[in-house]
Every structure is written in structure tokens, then in C-alpha cells.
Amino acid sequence: MASLILPNQSPPSSSSSFLTKSERKFKKIQTIVPVARLFGPSIFEAPKLKVLFIGVDDKKHPGDLPRTYTLTHSDVTSNLTLAISQSINNNQLQGWYNKFYRDEVIAEWRKVKGNMSLHVHCHISGGHFFLDLCAHLRFYIFTKELPLVLKAFAYGDGNLLKNYPELQEALVWVYFHSNVKEFNRVECWGPLMKALSSSSSSSSSFGSTIDEGESSNWEVPKACLEECSCCFPPMSSIPWSHDDDDTNQWLQQKC
């Protein structure tokens, strides 16, 4: 998922004293700049996306049948795999690579008090030391690449959005899960179509670009506590959910 160019450990050669000041500065920067890439290039490439439909189709509205997206990435081929199903496709998350790097993105459609919204979950840190060490870098990468992720969702489930165009106006809520308080947060990225149109180069500040007056009316949707017909599914199928503010407890249990 990410590779770091570490500072050169070898002793300086005698010729280094003849480098100009600008050359030494460039050489220093060159040795410490991190090189990281998640989900391949920032430009969405449809041929590299494999879509699996498991127990769902494009006819049933997600307000009536649970609909979950599981997106994973291969560093070897740079291909993406998107499973569209009623719950998380755990088969996609098996193997040492996925358990170690945790670069999957999970999302689900939810109807809360009559309003549809898309809830996207990213695992930043917690579970083992490598993720904790790279928490800041992982947060940056996930935020930068999220428009590409949303485009993969929209492309892979394009027929659903055509059949129910009102879903394109549904708000997108992004949950960053971390044992570091700074990165354990929820952001509203606005309507789906607006989030899709944001460029990856500017997405790192997308959440902060929402107008203050607008964002004050956007509160994290919370389902009714009692049985009702305006919320579906009544509880999130994603164990990382912030619904009960128990993210840190869940992360500790996974350690």
C-alpha cells in the first residue's frame, strides 16, 4: 500500500563536502520524502474495476434491501475489486496482506428517518504498530483517494443510480476509524454527485469547504431508538460504526 524512502544510512563520502548548498538541500529532501500510493493512480480506470454482485441486483431500492460495498485493491495488478452485497464480503478481506495493510473501504446505504445516505468507512489505525506508525500518512492517502473510491462505487452500481436518480443527491458520510483521536472523525462530503465531482488533488480539504450555514444543518444521521418504518436497516451491518461511539473499544478488541 505504501512504501517509504528512508534516509540514507551509509556514511557520507568525501565528495559530499564539494556539493553546493542547493545540491545538499535537494539531496536531503530526496532521501526523506515519503512515496505512497493507495488504490493505484488517482484517475479512475473502469477496465481495472471488477464488480461482483452477491445476493443483490439493480432493481431493489437500498431502502428496502440492505446494500453494502466492499472495495479492495491489489498492489500487484493495481486492479480494484468491488463486491455489492447485503453485508460485508468477508471473503475479500482474508489473507495476510489485507489483514496487515487494511486498505479496504466499506460503505453501506442507509435510510435514516426517511432520508437516504451513503456511509463510507476507512480504517486508519489500530490493530498493530505499523498502522499506528503510519496513521497520519494513511489519513492523508485515504482522504486524497476517496473521490476515486466514490467513482468506483458509482460506476460499479451505475444501474442502481440510473433506476433511482434521487440517490445521487444522498449525502455521503465518511467515517475515519483510528485509535488516534485526531484522525478518529466523521466528515460530511455533501451530496454524492458533488463528492464525485471533487478532484483528488483538492479532496483533502473537501470536508472543510462545506459552507458553515449548510454544515450546521448536517448532523450525523442516527436511527430511531424504537422500532420504526423510517429507518432501514435499523442497525449498521458494519462493526466499525460510530453509532454508539464505540470505535475505540472495537479497535482495542481487534488488537
> What H or E segment, with its residue span, contains residue 3?
strand 2-3
Nearest of 127, 212, 223, 227 to residue 177 by alpha carbon: 127
Q: Whole-angstrom Cα distance, residue 132 to residue 178?
A: 8
Nearest to 135 by CA among 178, 171, 99: 178
Query: What is the pLDDT at residue 238?
Result: 85
Quick one: cell of 137? 500518512
Quick one: pLDDT band at residue 131, thresholds 50, 70, 90?
Answer: confident
Mean pLDDT, residues 182-205: 76
Return the beta strands (E) in 124-192 as ranges.
171-177, 185-191
Residue 190 burial (10 A CB sphere; 0-12, 13-18, 19+): buried
Q: Judge whether residue 243 has pLDDT over 80.
A: no
Is pLDDT of 72 > 90?
yes
- Taking a C-beta distance cutoff of 8 angstroms, is the pair 208, 225 a contact? no
- Least confident window among 138-147, 226-235, 236-245: 236-245
Higher-confidence residue of 124 and 77: namely: 124
User: What's the pLDDT score for residue 59?
Assistant: 92
pLDDT at residue 188 greater than cutoff 70: yes
DSSP codes, 20-52: -HHHHHHHHHHHH--EE-SSSSSS--GGGEEEE
134-144 tens-digit pLDDT = 888 889 889 98
Tally of CB atoms within 10 A around 233: 19
User: What mean pLDDT, rounded, does the chain reach?
Assistant: 75
pLDDT for 30 equals: 34
CA distance 60 to 66: 9
User: Does residue 132 surpass a pLDDT of 50?
Assistant: yes
CB atoms within 10 A of CB 189: 24
| Phi, then psi, of 62 in degrees rounded to 5 | -65, -10
Model confidence at 9, pLDDT cuts 50, 70, 90, reads: very low
Q: What is the pTM of this model?
A: 0.73
What gap in Å lies between CA 171 and CA 169, rounded to an integer?
6
Least trusted range by pLDDT, from 46-60, 62-76, 126-140, 167-181: 126-140
Q: Are 248 and 184 in contact (CB under 8 A)?
A: yes
Percentage of the chain with pLDDT > 70?
66
Strands 2-3 and 80-85 come out as: unpaired
| Residue 66 DSSP class | -
**Which helix H or strand E contains 118, and what residues bound it?**
strand 115-123
What does the alpha-carbon distance between residue 149 and residue 151 come to, in Å, rounded to a whole number? 5
Which residue reads 445476493 in cell numbers?
55
Give the pLDDT band (50/70/90) at residue 28. very low
Among 180, 188, 182, 175, smallest CA distance to 251 is for: 180
d(CA 2, CA 14): 33
Q: Which of 102-116, 213-227, 228-242 has the highest mean pLDDT?
A: 102-116
| CA pair distance 167, 60, nearest whole angstrom | 13
Query: Could you report the per-residue pLDDT of 146-169, keeping only the tens digit for each?
Result: 999 999 999 999 999 999 999 999
| Of 44-48, 57-61, 227-231, 249-253, the least confident | 249-253
